[in-house]
């Protein structure tokens, strides 16, 4: 997958772009930045393998740490036979990690172990992000490799 977007320069020298991107000037469009191709996901062998690639964006700062914790927690858990069992496994893992069931609640949950001490939402986990985005991403990954079951 190749991701491309156009950046309009703020000055005659253009924006300062750093990293592995390639930058070319393309006339009136401004600067075209081509991000490197993402490596394809390896077929998952365990539930933890579904967490191999991080999402492009999390809900709050603590969600990234919870993603890592769940990946480690489920690293040895075999893949279930269907997406419904996977969803149950993910909900149970959330409850073990956060100490309460996952719900579609807008109120952030605080976990001190996810708080590195900086940022307004440090240590905060957003249940709605997991309910509406995080869990569906993992289920979609499972379905992509299992043929949709």
Q: Is the pLDDT of residue 51 over 90?
A: yes
Nearest to 7 by CA among 28, 26, 32, 27: 32
Are 51 and 63 in contact by the 8 Å Cβ rule? The answer is: no
Residue 117's pLDDT is what?
82
Residue 41's pLDDT is what?
67
Number of C-beta neighbours around residue 133 at 10 A: 16
Helix ranges (DSSP H) in 1-149: 61-73, 83-98, 127-129, 135-146
Residue 67's pLDDT is what?
95
Q: Is the four-CA dihedral 59, 64, 66, 71 of positive or negative sign?
A: positive
Residue 122's pLDDT is what?
85
What mean pLDDT do residues 136-140 have? 94
State pLDDT tens for residues 3-47: 333 333 433 333 433 333 333 444 444 544 444 445 556 789 999
Q: Is the pLDDT of residue 1 over 60?
A: no
Confidence class for position 125, pLDDT limits 50, 70, 90:
very high
Q: Is the pLDDT of residue 50 over 70?
A: yes
Residue 40's pLDDT is what?
53
State pLDDT tens for residues 61-106: 888 999 999 999 999 999 999 999 999 999 999 999 999 999 998 8
């Amino acid at each position: 997958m190749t991701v491309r977007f156009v950046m309009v320069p703020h000055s005659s020298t253009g924006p300062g772009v750093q990293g592995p991107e390639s930058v070319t000037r393309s006339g009136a469009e401004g600067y075209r930045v081509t991000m490197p191709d993402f490596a394809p996901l390896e077929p998952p062998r365990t539930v933890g393998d579904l967490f191999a690639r991080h999402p492009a964006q999390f809900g709050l700062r603590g969600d990234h740490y919870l993603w890592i914790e769940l990946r480690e927690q489920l690293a040895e858990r075999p893949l279930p036979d269907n997406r419904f069992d996977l969803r149950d496994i993910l909900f149970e893992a959330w409850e073990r990690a956060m100490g309460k069931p996952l719900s579609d609640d807008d109120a952030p949950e605080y976990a001190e172990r996810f708080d590195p001490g900086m940022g307004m939402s440090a240590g905060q986990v957003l249940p709605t992000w997991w309910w509406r985005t995080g869990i569906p991403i993992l289920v979609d990954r499972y379905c992509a490799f299992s043929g949709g079951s």
